[in-house]
Amino acid sequence: MSKAYLAKSRLRKLEAEESLPNKLTKLLVEAGMEDIIQKGNIVAIKVHFGDTSNSGYRYIRPIFVRKVVDLVRSLGGIPFVTDTWGLKHIESAVKNGFNYATLNAAVIPANGIKENFYYVVKVPDAFHIKEVQVAGNIYDADVLINFAHSKGHPSSGYGGAIKNLAMGCTSYKTRGEVHNLEKLDDIGEKFQEGLVDATRAVLQNKKGKVIHINYIMDVQPMCDCAPYSDNPIVPDIGIAVSTDIVALEKATLDLIDNAPPAPYSIAEKLGLKPGDNKFFKIHKKDPYIQVRAGEKAGLGTQRYELIEI
């Protein structure tokens, strides 16, 4: 059994400390961030900067990333904020509010200006991808903070912490190989197993040096990379954190599935109810495949204790 920690976005009192950005700091401390970061560590904070046309808008709000940066600095770490797609994505990031002025940390490409900086990592007993090109700056970082946005995805039903590492911390060659798996079935099984292969490679040199965060807000039907955003399918839930990526993803999917459909959303249009596998009903891809595959590959356990702070 692994612990997952949850801060709900719903206010309990009309006080600043009850607001979600401040609760995120408490959440990370509770989840053991002080044990993960040592003074002088270089700390990669992986987020999704949003689509390159700056048309989508339901990505992680920069204030939350700033809170993570502030905590890293208070622990003596040296943070940088990062994503793939090279320097052109940094241009988009600046427009979307991710820059040194807002975050107090360098915002740099995960794998070079044209995505040619990577390390090849072998994945023993892989489902499909035996060699993964892991983004150089992610590999070289002493600590990885995997700050993912939980939302729908047409290839896997859902994308969160696992997908943030698998597709967001690798090269274009690996991303292409994983996407190619979509051609092998209609239910997203092979694709999600490929995500797990890539995630294993990214985490290979990060034992005891990684923490996973799911931002369960603005849970829109499609990925952050799409040049549009839609109303969230469920009301805002909050932020969940764990050092066990499988437990975190299972807890997150359970929270979303147990929530009511949000008004004016595609979930309402579909008539979804609390308890439905919402992403499966929307995308016809079962998102729990990646969770089960992650457990099978030894990334963690689906059994979790959810601790609300």
Partner 1 sequence: MSDKRKRVSVDQSSCIGCGTCIKVCPAGVFKIINGKSHAVRPDACIVCRACITHCPTSCITISPREYEPIKRLYEG
Residues that bind partner 1 (CB under 8 A): 52, 85-86, 88, 114-115, 154-155, 172-173, 175-177, 179-180, 182-183, 186, 221-222, 226-228, 266, 269-270, 282-284
Residue (31 or 222) nearer to partner 1, CB: 222
Q: How far is the CB of 85 from partner 1 (least distance, A)?
A: 6
Q: How far is the CB of 273 from partner 1 (least distance, A)?
A: 16
Residue (77 or 109) nearer to partner 1, CB: 109
Q: How far is the CB of 161 from partner 1 (least distance, A)?
A: 21
Q: How far is the CB of 301 from partner 1 (least distance, A)?
A: 30
Query: Kind and range of the H or E element at 36?
Result: helix 33-36
Residue (136 or 300) nearer to partner 1, CB: 136
Residue (257 or 295) nearer to partner 1, CB: 257
Burial (CB < 10 A; 0-12, 13-18, 19+), residue 18, is middle
- For β-strands 42-46 and 304-308, DSSP reports them as unpaired
Q: How far is the CB of 175 from partner 1 (least distance, A)?
A: 5
CA-closest candidate to residue 145, choices 234, 207, 192, 209: 209
Q: How far is the CB of 9 from partner 1 (least distance, A)?
A: 26
Please give the torsion angle defined by the CA atoms of residues 189, 191, 196 and 201, in that order, rounded to the nearest 10 degrees.
Answer: 150
Looking at beta carbons, which pairs linking 116-121 to residues 24 or more positions away fall under 8 Å?
116/171, 118/170, 118/171, 121/201, 121/202, 121/204
Helix (H, G, I), strand (E, B) or coil at 232: coil
Residue (222 or 253) nearer to partner 1, CB: 222
Looking at beta carbons, which pairs linking 171-180 to residues 24 or more positions away fall under 8 Å?
171/84, 171/111, 171/115, 171/116, 171/118, 171/133, 171/134, 171/135, 172/115, 173/133, 174/129, 174/132, 174/133, 174/198, 175/84, 177/128, 177/129, 178/129, 179/155
Residue (30 or 230) nearer to partner 1, CB: 230
Residue (269 or 296) nearer to partner 1, CB: 269
Helix (H, G, I), strand (E, B) or coil at 146: strand
Q: How far is the CB of 296 from partner 1 (least distance, A)?
A: 25
Q: How far is the CB of 78 from partner 1 (least distance, A)?
A: 27
Query: How far is residue 51's CA from residue 30's CA, in Å, rounded to a whole number?
Result: 32
Residue (67 or 89) nearer to partner 1, CB: 89
